Amino acid sequence: MNFHHVPVMLDEVMTYLDIKQGGTYVDCTLGGGGHTIEIIKKIQPGGLVIGIDQDPNALEAARKRLHSYGKRVVYVHSNYYRLKDVFAQLNLREADGVLFDLGVSSHQLDEGERGFSYMQDAPLDMRMNPEDPVTAEHIVNQKTEDELNGLIREYGEEKWARRIARFIVDYREKSPIHTTGELVEIIKKAVPAGARREGPHPAKRTFQALRIAVNDELNRFRKALYEAVDILRPGGRVCVISFHSLEDRIAKEVFRELSKSCICPPGLPICTCNKKQELKVLTGKPVLPTPEELKVNPRARSAKLRAAEKC
């Protein structure tokens, strides 16, 4: 399996991480290793990159691609929401930079059998970590109509969420739903013909919602972002590349919260909250890919980058 891919917003990531020679950096979503390779080049001589990925296939491919860098890279099969545990197990205390490159990776979409893609018929899986217990098939067949509606509406931002949920429940009363192909056909019937002719593929938002739910992506990312700030040394930086408005909103909210020096109600004569500013936000607005990058890598079109520095 070829895991090589074009790393998104590589120049911008290198600029905002402000790589230091001999530094310690964490790539929380190692994937194809594209960002990590560039980080390694800048930290030498010395330095260390902790490469975390919950997908064992991605880790194995990264080991092969990065083998020439030897002990400059430590490979960790885990989820980034366990970031502080990973550091403790490696006897590390602080990092100079942490990178999150969120969402489903190109190679996971290309692996049809993983069930991430609505363009290929496969088992309804969608687990980034094959060891996790919950699959998309479980959610589609076990959740109530109200639960499916809420999930598809919130995580997929899908206006036809209620109809899709109802059609799923009606279908599974006759037979369980096992494959992505079955689900795509159900969604196509649920979305009115006029809506199907406009915008993205009618199944895109529902598949996105299921993937987020299966992997608990938003809750885990929020927890991981706080942990990333905790392990940064003063002057260290955290960069987030997101591909979904809900992920971007979490990064924006956490950065804003941790950049405040006082959260007392307005009008108090003195500060009583004793809150200290933890971050300096480096990106007032999210940084977007350049037109030149989009010509080379169309999958970067929805990417947004935010960065902050530990005070």
CATH code assigned at 237? 3.40.50.150
- Closest of 61, 59, 12 to residue 38, by C-alpha: 12
- The pLDDT of residue 93 is 93
Quickly state the pLDDT bin for 5 (edges 50, 70, 90): low
Tell me the longest C-alpha to C-alpha distance in the chain: 66
Q: Does residue 139 sit within a domain?
A: yes
Are residues 197 and 225 located together in one domain of the fold? no
Cα separation, 239 vs 216, in Å, equals: 21
The arithmetic mean of pLDDT across residues 127-136, rounded, is 91
Which residue is associated with the tokens 């217990």? 133
Residue 171: predicted pLDDT: 97
Does 230 lie in the same domain as 150?
A: no
> What is the tens place of the pLDDT at every residue in 167-201?
999 999 999 999 999 999 999 999 998 778 877 89
Q: What percent of the chain has pLDDT over 70?
A: 95
Do 240 and 302 fall into the same domain?
yes
Q: What is the pLDDT of residues 66-113, one digit of tens each?
A: 999 989 999 999 999 999 999 999 999 999 999 999 976 655 555 667
Q: Are residues 244 and 98 in the same domain?
A: yes
- At 271, the pLDDT band (50, 70, 90 cuts) reads confident
* Residue 89 CB contacts under 8 Å (≥ 6 apart), including other chains: none
Are 88 and 236 contained in the same domain? yes
Whether 95 and 173 share a structural domain? no
Predicted local confidence at residue 259, as pLDDT: 96
> Quick check: is 253 in a domain?
yes
Residue where one domain finishes, among candidates 156, 190, 214: 214
Per-residue pLDDT tens digits for 13-44: 999 999 999 999 999 999 888 899 999 999 98
If you average pLDDT over every residue of the chain, what do you get? 91
- Terminal alpha carbon distance of the chain: 42
CA–CA gap between residue 103 and residue 80 (Å, rounded)? 13
Q: Are residues 235 and 301 in the same domain?
A: yes
C-alpha dist (Å) from residue 97 to 62, 100, 220: 20, 10, 19
Q: Are residues 102 and 141 located together in one domain of the fold?
A: no
CA distance 58 to 31: 5
Quick check: is 1 in a domain?
A: no
Question: Domain for residue 32, yes or no?
Answer: yes
| Residue 3 scores a pLDDT above 70 | no
pLDDT at 160: 96
Mind listing the pLDDT tens digit for each residue in 197-243? Answer: 877 899 999 999 999 999 999 999 999 999 999 999 999 999 999 99
Same domain, residue pair 303 and 225: yes
Q: Are residues 151 and 30 in the same domain?
A: no
Mean pLDDT, range 110-118, rounded to an integer:
76
Angstrom distances, CA of residue 11 to CA of 48, 240, 293, 301: 20, 14, 10, 16
**Final residue in a domain of this structure, among 167, 186, 214:** 214
Give me the CATH number covering residue 153.
1.10.150.170
| Domain housing 260 | 10-107+217-310
Residue 27 lies in a domain: yes
One domain, residues 204 and 232: no
Q: Could you say which of 214, 249, 264 is where a domain stops?
A: 214
Whether 1 shows a pLDDT value over 50: the answer reads: no
| Number of domain units in the chain | 2
Residue 297's nearest CA partner among 32, 27, 26 is 32
Are residue 159 and residue 245 in the same domain, yes or no?
no
Show the tokens assigned to 209: 């919602």
Beta carbons within 10 angstroms of residue 129's beta carbon: 14
